[in-house]
Amino acid sequence: MPLTIFQRPKIILSLFIFGFFICGLSSVPSFAAEERVGFIDIQKAVSNTKEWKTSFNKFKLNFTAVKEKIKVREEKIKNMQEELNKQSFVLDPELKRGKEEQLRKEKITFERYVQDQNAELSKKEKEVTQKILRKMMDIVKKLGAEGSYAMILGQQSVLYHDASNDLTEVATTTYDRENE
């Protein structure tokens, strides 16, 4: 029985899809076998380095010292406020205004000091992190080249990966060894 004009396109399309499906399946495993993909939790790799831990401990000490200075200045303002509240009924209005102005200036100075200290601490933390991160990126590139990886991805952007392709510990160990 001869094929009608309407049946020919259906058969050709079916053969084309079947051929594409067969060719596509046979090429995927060969691609996967040739290319290696690694994964790294860059934040964990950086924060587990000896340099980061040392820097973080120094940072923590500095932070504690700044926090203590802020606490002392805050206590001073609190005492000034309490003293003014206690004496407000017996003080001469002119003297009271002077003390209120002094307290207002002290509060403004304190707020600026806190903002400056926060900005300075944030800047220091960022500088240390960026310095270590730049070095870590060099390590990751080196691991990629030496391990013949086609790419190394951040774990944050991957839903699943085989744990054998996790390079986080290797990156940290290599970083520590090269930066002693």
Specify which residues 152 forms β-bridges with.
38
Task: Output the pLDDT for position 88.
Answer: 79
- Digit-coded pLDDT (tens) for 137-165: 999 999 999 988 999 998 887 888 888 88
What does the alpha-carbon distance between residue 90 and residue 98 come to, in Å, rounded to a whole number? Answer: 14
Q: What angle do helix axes 168-178 and 50-87 make, rounded to 10 degrees?
A: 90
Residue 14 backbone dihedrals phi, psi, to 5 degrees: -65, -45
Domains located in the chain, CATH noted: 36-178 (3.30.910.20)
* Predicted confidence (pLDDT) per residue in 76-119, tens digit: 999 999 988 888 788 888 888 898 999 999 999 999 999 999 99
Mean pLDDT of the chain: 84
- How far apart are alpha carbons 148 and 34 in whole angstroms? 10
For residue 155, give every residue at least 6 positions away whose Cβ sits within 8 Å of its Cβ, in sequence order, or none.
Answer: 39, 40, 41, 161, 166, 168
Model confidence pTM above 0.85? no
* pLDDT (tens digit per residue) in 20-68: 555 554 554 444 456 889 999 999 999 999 999 999 999 999 999 999 9
DSSP 8-state class, residue 4: P
Assess contact for 179 and 49: CB atoms under 8 A. Answer: yes
pLDDT value of position 8: 55
Integer Cα distance of 143 and 159 in angstroms:
22
The model's pLDDT over 2-33, given as tens digits with 9 standing for 90+, comes to: 545 545 555 655 555 655 555 554 554 444 45
